[in-house]
Amino acid sequence: MPLLPRMSPYRPDPQEACQYPRDCYFEAAVVLIGLGGTFDMTDELLRLGGDDPYRREKAHFLAATRDLRIRLAGRAFAEGLRSAAAELPERLESIACDARRTVRERRAIIAALRQEIDGDTAAAREAAATIARFVETRFDGADGGVSCPP
């Protein structure tokens, strides 16, 4: 017969906090539920066991809202792409004029950004062209200086 702990694995043993064995007693915490709230002990016991009592309802909700969530994700992705494209010149400027790094390091960072562009979309081609134009116009030679505004 295996040894079983005195307490549940989800609750600590109240005697572990005791300093003196004869002064130990269990003091249950009182939980107040907000105005008009309900509390279902069965749900909580299922959750403690690693089971979600509302998993079927959640699955039905996710299935019913799948198309809407896909459309919202597409819009968010497109907006992120537009904002990244708008911020690219400013980001390149801040990298190129970062005096804490050498010119070679700055060029390497910009080249790494160019290598990160993945895909053969119009937005990817435009971002790659923006980076190429920036490098051609701002950097003087392989190890030369960079022209930054004062």
Structural domain includes residue 89: no
Residue 118 has pLDDT above 80, yes or no: no
Domain that holds residue 36: 14-53
Residues linked to residue 139 through DSSP beta bridges, in sequence order: 146
State how many domains the chain has. Answer: 1
Structural domain includes residue 105: no
Structural domain includes residue 39: yes
Residue 37 has pLDDT above 80, yes or no: no
Structural domain includes residue 143: no
Tens-digit pLDDT profile for residues 52-87: 888 888 899 999 999 999 999 999 999 998 998 999
Encoding tokens for residue 93?
């400027």
Average pLDDT, the chain: 78
Encoding tokens for residue 139?
């950097």
Q: Is 0.85 topped by the overall pTM?
A: no
Structural domain includes residue 109: no
CA angle 33, 35, 41 (to 5 degrees): 30
Structural domain includes residue 44: yes
* Residues ≥6 apart with Cβ < 8 Å to 24: 14, 15, 18
As a whole number of angstroms, the distance between CA 56 and CA 52 comes to 9
Question: Residue 117: which pLDDT band, with cuts at 50, 70 and 90?
Answer: confident
